[in-house]
Structure 1
């Protein structure tokens, strides 16, 4: 690990003890090394989810459905990537030249994955309390902005269709391009005898969300 990366980690709020583990947390699979960020990402995803769920439960008397709605918005891949960009993560990701040339260093999927892998490393090196405190610091703008308060576009469209006695919306992937680590999806959503709209994003789920939002803006 370079001195610059270690200094950036510590300035951001991470506490580095086992340097080799943190090196793995920043290593993309395209590097072809024995250890990359995938296992730590798996762990960090759970650390993030529990930390945000704990915060929401303590701060709100909202029912389970509303809490889940906010949780899903705050821990989404899109939000994780936004946090990653905010702290300047991209230059510190160890990724192959080809993957970087393909846009991998700015991919929502990769940025989101690495944020989670770093939280996994924080948990293993420093425990849950320190990890939860860091999550609250890094995700505070999302927590305080009301992210997830509004209904998810797909849920809103589903309810709109039912309320207007229309068939349920149908989603179809119309285009999928780019390398595996930086794919772009285009999804079309249609409601019978009403119309259709499309959305494009770096994951199928986000493209469906964008399509549903576009549909509601046009027909809702």
Structure 2
């Protein structure tokens, strides 16, 4: 199987040349365009998530040999979460080579965080299946780069910090209330309010509940600590 010019360019951005190009094609095939003879990337996504997890866990242990499990866990979660995978996917422009059905393309599928994150995990699995663990590890460490060493700030997310702020002052944990949801099902927009027991509140809007909650928590933190 011969890869297109765009796919060959993607191999260079990824940092791996496939001995079996069909693995790469499958990793980039979304369910909206799959068929009985053209499988989608879901099984590879499942495997890639596990390969990424092992690489990140190993890298974190090596980066900080004195860290406790309690310190490592949030760092790990920050490195393997879907948002981070999507950021890395954008870094190498996976969206440009994703194989999508017409409806998914028209709805902006090449920019959707979930699709990009899933495809990134599937590509990791494709590298693993193509050339083994060390090749996958090399690609992951190269693409994630300094994130591994600067993850502490990301690990202390805004929701965690706001909860700690509230508990330190004898308040209950913050409540997150969905104020509104708009847009089509494939691209919803959420407005979330972060509320404290003392009546303090801030709102934020984003394309996922998690992002909106984080943004609302950060907005409230900024207000409380300014």
Same fold (TM over 0.5): yes
Runs of 4+ in 1 over 6 A off after TM superposition: none
8 Å CA contact 1:102–1:179 kept in 2: the answer is no
Q: Show the counterpart of 2:48.
A: 44
Q: 1:102 to 1:212 in 2, by over 3 A?
A: same
Gaps of 5+ in 1: none
Q: Show the counterpart of 2:33.
A: 31
Which deviates the most, 203-212 or 119-128?
A: 203-212
Give distance in 1, aligned partners of 2:114 and 2:188: 9
* 1:10 and 2:31 matched: no
Q: Show the counterpart of 1:132.
A: 137
8 Å CA contact 1:84–1:90 kept in 2: the answer is yes
Q: 1:96 to 1:88 in 2, by over 3 A?
A: same
- Deviation of the 1:91 alpha carbon: 0.8
**1:92-120 deviations in whole A, cap 9, x for unaligned?**
00112322222221111111111111001
- Deviation of the 1:161 alpha carbon: 0.9
Give distance in 1, aligned partners of 2:214 and 2:121: 22
Give distance in 1, aligned partners of 2:169 and 2:139: 45
Q: Show the counterpart of 2:163.
A: 158
2:153 to 146, 149, 156: 149
- Deviation of the 1:164 alpha carbon: 1.0
Aligned length: 219
CA RMSD of aligned residues (A): 2.0
**1:50-93 deviations in whole A, cap 9, x for unaligned?**
11111110110222222122212222222222211111221100
8 Å CA contact 2:180–2:191 kept in 1: the answer is yes
Q: How does 1:21-170 map to 2 (within 5 A)?
A: 21-34=23-36, 35-60=39-64, 61-144=66-149, 146-149=150-153, 151-170=156-175
Gaps of 5+ in 2: none
Give distance in 1, aligned partners of 2:204 and 2:114: 17
TM-score (norm 1): 0.89
* 1:212 and 2:224 matched: no
- Deviation of the 1:13 alpha carbon: 1.4
